[in-house]
Amino acid sequence: MQNYRQEEKEHKKRGAREGHIPHSRKIPSARKTVRVPRRRKCNRHRGEILRPTTEVASQTVIDLVFMKNGPRKSVTKYIGTRGYCKKCEHSIAPPGIERLGGRLFGKKFRAWAVYLRICLRLPYSAIIQVLSEQFNETISEGSLVNFINDFAVHYEQTERLLLRRLFASPCVYVDETKISIEGEDHYVWVFTNSTHTIFRLTETRESSVVHQTLKGFKGVMVSDFFAGYDSVECIKQKCWSHLIRDLNDDLWRNPFDSEFEAFVLGVKNVILPILRTVEHFGHKSRFLKKFRNPVKQFYREIVMKPCISELVGRYQKRFHRYRHSLFTFLSHDGVGWNNNAAERALRHLAVQRKISGSFTESGARTFLVLLGIAQTCRFQGKSMLQFLSSDEKDVDKFGRKRTTKKSPAPVK
């Protein structure tokens, strides 16, 4: 068998298969020509002066110009003379052309394609159709994947900045969801503080990624009741939305359990005034610390009370186990009582999961890097497309916000 495979490899010819029709792109004629200055000194040999030559280096770039009423295609040709180095013994292109990296499509064109994929969740086939019909440019799926990979590598520094801002915040909201990687279950973890967001991908649901990401974090971690979060070394706040949902579900399933009904009523009497205060004054401890004594009374009279109902006993154990992480938000400013921020950050991925069905591992990792930036822009009210088109790498320093003009009220 091995000999057969060796013979088969030896008989294989390099290059395209027989009968393959090669594709050649027709470069459109440029409407604008930019002459760039030549390089004066060799970039390999310090101090070596380059001699001017008659050789010309050129690069045509297809890009977009974002106008008030939408994007417009532009074709620019960059021309410059080459310089000759005696030590290198070859000519060197101008720096203005080398910075283009030999790419046919400019940054804004590629940013538009990435925006359609990440923010608008369009499949590759739809993006190809949009670019063809709107700008008369034919793009392959491989080129779109390369666009996303290039932007993900370019914004690795941005992701590190987002992680640094998360560490500086008073609380971080954490959640996880399941996605399919080539038919196998993987998990995506989200870390957000309602203004900055990052994602992490793991093969299992082990919480080691949470330990690594939040190592040394001094704030409060808000999460659901997944047991993996309990071992993280930081102050914790459990999500009341999950707890209230569980109480309501069990109340519907057990309508004749009067003891459990009284227990739920006791929970309502202690948490409802707190949530009303949060709604009026926000997450400020100076308004919430007055509820510490009612919470202690709730534990004495409701949680520690002997019970007959098995369901009540189960919830009493749950309240006792998480006693120090259910009411943390009463003593800390800026800490939420629910985990809705993390669920909002994951919602975009949940919709993309329904559309795509499955991901590749490399595609998922690059997608999550850009999705974290997209969700950060959304939480801060900034345009992801304008950020990708700019030279800025810090979302906080990027000043352009989405502005929506409101039409004047009709005159009666």
Cα(329)–Cα(236) distance, integer angstroms: 9
Pairing relation of β-strands 220-223 and 235-238?
parallel
Closest CA to 332 of 213, 183, 221, 204: 221
Q: What is the pLDDT of residue 70?
A: 86
Pure H helices in 47-155: 95-98, 107-118, 124-135, 141-154
Element (H, E) at 139: none
| Residue-level pLDDT, tens digit, the chain, 412 residues | 445 445 544 555 555 566 655 556 777 777 888 888 888 888 777 777 878 888 888 888 999 999 888 899 999 999 988 888 877 777 878 888 888 888 899 999 999 999 999 999 999 999 999 999 999 998 999 999 999 999 999 999 999 999 999 999 999 999 999 999 988 999 999 999 999 999 999 999 999 999 999 998 999 999 999 999 999 999 999 999 999 999 999 999 998 999 999 999 999 999 999 999 999 999 999 999 999 999 999 999 998 889 899 999 999 999 999 999 999 999 999 999 999 999 999 999 999 998 888 888 888 999 999 999 999 999 999 999 999 999 899 999 998 555 555 556 555 4
According to DSSP, residue 138 is labeled -
Q: Which residues pair with 77 in a beta bridge?
A: 33, 60
Q: Report, in angstroms and rounded to the nearest whole number, the Rg of the chain calculated over CA atoms.
A: 29
Closest CA to 275 of 244, 296, 301, 248: 244
Closest CA to 145 of 314, 330, 400, 360: 360
Both structure tokens of 208: 């080691």
Helices 141-154 and 156-168 pack at an angle, to 10 degrees, of 50
Domain boundaries, the chain: 28-104, 240-330
Report whether 228 contacts 187 (CB < 8 A).
no
Q: What is the pLDDT of residue 284?
A: 92
Both structure tokens of 338: 């629910």
Element (H, E) at 385: helix 384-389
Q: What is the pLDDT of residue 258?
A: 93
3-class secondary structure, 25: coil
Q: Which residues pair with 220 in a beta bridge?
A: 171, 235
Closest CA to 301 of 336, 340, 262: 262
Q: How many CB atoms lie within 10 A of CB 22?
A: 5
The residue behind tokens 């009540």 is 312
Q: What is the pLDDT of residue 21?
A: 57
Element (H, E) at 372: helix 361-379
Element (H, E) at 57: strand 51-67
Report whether 68 contacts 23 (CB < 8 A).
no
Both structure tokens of 403: 């502005």
Both structure tokens of 46: 């310090």
